[in-house]
Copies of this chain bind each other. A is one copy, B any other.
């Protein structure tokens, strides 16, 4: 079978690709395990250097998710499974509304329509976000049964994506699943335009011996999930029998709900004798406003009952990152 990962050359996309290549098989549209003989990582721009850990089953295709023909071009087999990760992120979406609508809304529609056109009811995992929650009535802990009143364009388009995945699945056009992601940590590389970017930076920059300037107070609470558990959950959600998801195919992934101060404490504990760059707070009202609208806790009970996992504490996430990116 063929696997398509949109946003496939991003950090989560590449980590997912490598894991899938290791596994070698996934359920096809009929639900029985099939060997993965082709994988396309679709993304805006091709990476300058070929990413490590891939093999000749993989093709990197650059293109625009908002361009219908391009999406139909890569979803060109009936025995196919799709992980739809491509997305404008939160901060970027607040700065460019039209871009967020094109990439996140038109993009999701293109993926769903291309899958529908195969007539094989392909499995689709869509990455939603905890940013679907927000607004006056938001409870302290959000979850699968909480009303979605997003306060960013990013969150709005993700909420729409969940609705589309549910209805395309109900109609039998696709066998879809939405993974509602908390903030994924620790992303390697450079900061991105997500308002939550600091939640990776607070670990990454000090571990690289660089200073980290935090745009929010240390008391800020964020639901986070390590990238290893995130990727494992995307695969498990793909593998689950869709009937188990009932009428709502969107699942809040289990998270660790931690303060920035706890992130810093964990970093210090887990990093051993490494020299750490300085961390200091310089509050940024643009970032603070977005983050203040997000939930401070997430209920992952349904996800856990479906066999999805959370991290074994934040220290384990830090140690995993050191293992994967610093000691390697």
Contacts and interface: CB of A to CB of B under 8 A. Distances in A.
Interface of A: 97, 134-137, 144-151, 153, 156, 159-160, 163-164, 166-167, 170-171, 173, 246-248
Q: Which of A136, A144, A153, A163 has the most CB of B within 10 A?
A: A163
Given A145-B147, A147-B145, A147-B147, A153 B167 contact: yes
30 contacts: A97-B173, A134-B247, A135-B247, A136-B246, A136-B247, A136-B248, A137-B144, A137-B145, A137-B247, A137-B248, A144-B147, A145-B147, A146-B147, A148-B163, A149-B247, A150-B163, A150-B166, A150-B167, A151-B170, A151-B247, A153-B167, A153-B171, A156-B163, A156-B164, A156-B167, A159-B163, A160-B160, A160-B163, A160-B164, A163-B163
A153 B156 CA distance: 18
Contacts of A171: 97, 153
A137 B167 CA distance: 16
A232 to B, nearest CB: 26
Contacts of A148: 147-148, 163
SS class, residues of chain A in contact with chain B:
loop
A164 B105 CA distance: 11
Contacts of A150: 163, 166-167
A167 B94 CA distance: 11
A156 B153 CA distance: 18
A215 B135 CA distance: 40
A135 B159 CA distance: 16
A246 B135 contact: yes
Nearest to A154: B167
Contacts of A137: 144-145, 247-248
Contacts of A247: 134-137, 149, 151
Given A147-B147, A148-B148, A135 B248 contact: yes
A151 B167 CA distance: 7
Nearest to A93: B167
Contacts of A248: 135-137, 149
Contacts of A144: 137, 147
Contacts of A156: 163-164, 166-167
Given A136-B248, A137-B145, A156-B163, 5 more contacts: A150-B166, A151-B247, A156-B166, A160-B163, A163-B163
A131 to B, nearest CB: 12
